[in-house]
Structure 1
């Protein structure tokens, strides 16, 4: 009998909906909140009018940060395996605070982990203080939450005491500045860095160490990258492919492994993610990793956040462009930031163009919207 997806708006999703999907009773996909165009784009990918592929119970639309979003086919078994391995790694079942969009895998997994743990997730309401939300969590239970780096910064600035009340604060969705992690840990916040994606049912490598059952390998490939090799992942958490896209499925999944678009290194079983294989910029014949430049820029006292993109340049091939959010009234000038980055990463990585932002645009997942940032930068 053919199964069809039920499309649920993010604002209307309940844990009961998630339970029905995990029990195999009603396949589910969540439509993102925000402008109508975002929902329309998700509907076009999900095609609720077309029968669902066998074995899929949840379909999650990727953010499309570097291209068109895809519908990732996840089985209930994969989602449960991820949730169970996470709870085991963190020290056992507990109560979860939902502070992320449920249309993204990181937010949806908070509801799934709550379901597996036999708890009802507590939702951080829009505009609510973190401390007020934490006060609604059961007393005496272990407490967990998941955040993106921008949220971690905001809560560290405003409510560090509330953050210290969690037994674990998972941080992922984007590269996390080592200085931010060091600050959080120095203030007594139990942060855990996560690496994973929708295709692995969420985070599957915590603080560089794979969850139980997850395998990681780094392979040399034909795509130039910022160092290391291509990261591939395997285990019971893997998706089965992409919604109505067999070509993309065949390109990304094979032999039980998922081929990410990230570069990394494995040292004594610990994974270090170096950046996107397809994000590398070539400036003056030298490979430049935007993630590395962004991390160095965020270390500057005058920079609160940064996104780095490349622009065609007649002399350098590509020039490094830094879009920055100042931490004070004004941003450092380009000459200062060139010295700052050049002294740490070399001259090729030093930005040749600077653009100041009030805030970094984000996707519905909370990740930086790099295409939106690029559109804000004027041609020179």
Structure 2
């Protein structure tokens, strides 16, 4: 694709678009990983996942697509050690109960899906668990194993190689997603090693939630460094866990700032060399109906007492609140080993405000140093009624050379250079 054919951004500062792909006619994307020159992209509405050859970043080429099982989504995935791990869960946004997006983000998800209370849950018509693929032949996934769960399925994974994977799982009898450790010693036959949940989530065991029934107190996912897991627990905030014994994760600290803030905690990125934690709250409703969402900088010198020291500035060069769709943070680039790793530069997606880069050399005063806002998508892949035709930048990955890859619910894959 020539530079003349590339989409023209609505706004750009210190970032330059060098490549774009519609991902083989499936331009919707959620999580993406780049491994050995190939981008692996989970789809929200096109089902399944795609592989795009990005070895020439200026001319990305779709090379394969793997369909999801019926009524199942594969929106999140991880790559490491020549393995690709892909979530399998109920396709929530195709379900009638979640056509109004607000319903997905309010209340106990397990009750809405029908897995939380029943002694014998209703017959499931989706696949639940985590699929394992061999990608030693880069760009050519070959399924070799499956980790099955009883319930709604797995939502997101943290895996950087080796024996342990960490997942959020919606299990029968639980109100929402909990933390689970998966033993990957034999990738063809993964096994559960341990689990942790907040007291009140295990409804089948007679536990009673202490929070309001309108809240989503469930784990989005955890990032693990060493023997510590940093869990983003949506409306329950930050949950730090000790995983020294992978069979018995235990609580180190639980800190929640919702209320008064709006909840939706989505990423908790440790910066171990600086004893900092970057915590992102996801904007989940249109026109900031859920309030202003922020990215927080926390001091974790004492992991049992994380202390907030600053917040990232909010983009303000346009009236994003009323642009349509979601305005606010969605994802952080999570310093994947073997790719770009920095404790000073933080790369994020801001949904209708595109892609943002922040400098936190001074942790008490983060500064935005770059931005790229893609144009509105040509059309909507999103099948839900009444969705606005605006960009909703979703996930972001930065490779070892510093190239930035970002996608959208409808707009395809953007490959960018950070030019500052």
Give the alignment's TM-score, normalised by structure 1.
0.33
Higher fraction of strand? 2
Higher fraction of helix? 1
Give the alignment's TM-score, normalised by structure 2.
0.30
Which of the pair has more CA radius of gyration?
1
